Structure 1
């Protein structure tokens, strides 16, 4: 499994958008958006088919199907040291929407939110979309380490939210229990909410330990939201399915009401929830094979790049992206344009637009493809100079 023979390139050229096969010129290899090149698990496909066999596609429960909520809670409790019941889970239309809804719930126009720098652009976009003001907390681009003195110095009277990305996109860092506990102590001392984006929390290498944020302390449990999604682990980005989790049931009920999920204004496709629920219940053997393949690809990519003298990588602890440093003096945008034109390989530049000011001088490379495609793409990048 997970080699070139398992990839339907014709299907990808029709369906894989967001900077990938369907929008690039013929012959270009996309190592861009974090989306697998492999078809989803057969158990997920079968789950959708079974659900629609009786011909009924009725309204679902507004806050999420019972099986979706139960399986998501169980997944966090068994895999991520969580302590959630089904009542602590709300189905949403993707992790990205969950981030936006949390920003909308916590922030009024003019309120401030602290986000990491660099980090995925959706953090900044979510805050600004609701009229909030972003404060950037620099993290070490090699280690992902957080400067806690700077974090504390950024907190002021208008600070209402600290947003973290764990595991971190694009740095591949897993934040330890001690680091998360420190964040919870700072947030509690200043009465600030914390949002933890944990969409990457299944893609963990070397059997490393992962703690969902709300599990690390009572302070973390009290005033936090967790965001989760299924696009990375199970390749169902097009189904737009995610979850918001909160240990405070009253808060989550208020959040559900104010986010319009208690009516038909909002709500998540039942087919999407069935796909996600089936993924957690039946597709984990498929996922374990996928994870093994990703770890092999991670090692392959790292070994190719570390001797290139063009890019200097760090070995990610999680995610299926690398964020190597550019060593030939080009800016991130210049590098990405060069390898696109000269090497016929597409990457994401580490520009402010995508990852913030701290990303400049890097590119992001996605390796959730076959080893053959990955190796060819990396060699094209290196040999284009």
Structure 2
């Protein structure tokens, strides 16, 4: 199901944008945006077809279809130690939109959010778009560990939000229940909100336990939002579907009201919600095979790079990206340009633009493709020097 023969390259060259096949010259292998090269699960395709057979594409409930909210709540409760009801779920147009809505709700202009460094650029973008300011808390790029003492020292009277990425993109760290509990205690002691981006929480290896943030303590339940999406685990990025979760119903109702999800101003395509709902209800067997394939690819990529002279990888506990350290003296941008020019492989530089200041000296390599494409791409990178 996840071999090179299962990839429709013609379709990818027509449809896969965002730095991937459709955005690059022929002959270049994209190991860039975190999006699978494989078609989505047949159950999802069939679910969309079944939904539109009667020809009706009417408005759905403003906050989300009942089956969508029910399935997301059940998924978190059974797989991630959550304690959510369907009313704790809001359908949004992607996890990225969820991050922006939370930042807009929590922060007044000029107020501060602490985000991790390095981390995906959307954390910074969402805070800035809401008029907030950023303070960076360092993450060890080798281990993914957060410096909690440093985190405490960064908190000021202007700080209102701590944003975490769990599992961490791009390092691939899964934060333990104990670490999350400590973060919740820090947040509670300073009366801060916490946003936990958990879009990668389905792509976790070696059966490692994953705890959704709000499950780890009473403090975590009280003043937090969780963001979730379907683009990583089910390959439906183009449908722009995600969810915001919150255990405090009074706060959540206010959030929904102020985010304009109580009218037709906002709302999510019903087709997208059906696809996501079917994914959780019927496509888990596909997802488990996909996860097994990804773990094989992870190990393959790690082993190839570990024996190279140019990159030093660490083994991610989650996600389908590697974040190796550059061994030669090139900057992240220079390395990525060299590999594109001489190896015909596109990768993401660990530049401030994409991941923050702490990413410099690294590159991010996506491995959600076939074993053949992955091996060819990595060997091209190595041979380009």
If the TM-score is normalised by the length of the shorter chain, which range does it land in?
A: over 0.9
Q: Which residue of 1 aligns with 2:270?
A: 270
Hey, what does 1:7 align to over in structure 2? 7
2:72 alignment counterpart: 72
Residue 22 of structure 1 aligns to a residue in which SS? helix
Where in structure 1 are there 5+ consecutive unaligned residues?
none
Q: Equivalent residue for 1:147?
A: 147
Structure 1 residue 309, shift from structure 2 partner: 1.3
- Report the equivalent of 1:324: 324
Aligned length in residues: 385
* Matching residue of 1:223: 223
The alignment's TM-score, normalised by the length of structure 1, stands at 1.00
Structure 1 match to 2:16: 16
Secondary structure of the equivalent of 2:288?
Answer: helix
Alignment of 1:10-159 (within 5 A): 10-159=10-159
**Counterpart residue number, 1:281:** 281
C-alpha distance in 2, partners of 1:254/1:87?
A: 13
Q: CA deviation at 1:130?
A: 1.1
Residue 17 of structure 1 deviates from its aligned partner by: 0.2
Report how far residue 339 of structure 1 moved.
0.3
Distance 2:130 2:281 in 1: 36
Whole-Å Cα distance in 2 between the matches of residues 66 and 72 of structure 1?
10
Cα deviation for residue 312 of structure 1 reads 0.3
Q: Distance in 2 between matches of 1:66 and 1:334?
A: 49
Task: State the secondary structure of the residue aligned to 2:196.
Answer: strand
The 1-side partners of 2:81 and 2:189 are apart by 24
Counterparts of residues 204-215 of structure 1 (less than 5 Å)? 204-215=204-215
Cα distance in structure 2, aligned partners of 1:221 and 1:253 = 15
List aligned pairs for 1:297-376, cutoff 5 A. 297-376=297-376
Per-residue Cα deviation, 1:75-117 (whole angstroms, up to 9, x for no partner):
0000000000000000000000000000000000110000000
Does the residue aligned with 2:173 lie in a helix, a strand or coil? coil
Question: How far apart in 2 are the matches of 1:367 and 1:146?
Answer: 25
CA distance in 1, matches of 2:47, 2:252: 28
Residues 160-188 of structure 1 deviation map (CA, whole Å, 9 limit, x = unaligned): 00000000000000000000000000000
Q: Which residue of 2 aligns with 1:245?
A: 245
TM-score by length of structure 2 reads 1.00
SS in 2 for 1:382: helix
Q: Secondary structure, in 3 states, of the residue corresponding to 2:113?
A: strand
Tell me the distance in 1 between the aligned counterparts of 2:338 and 2:111: 40
Cα deviation, residue 250, structure 1:
1.0
Q: Distance in 2 between matches of 1:315 and 1:149?
A: 26
Runs of 4+ with >6 A deviation: none
CA distance in 1, matches of 2:282, 2:252: 28
CA distance in 2, matches of 1:239, 1:209: 29
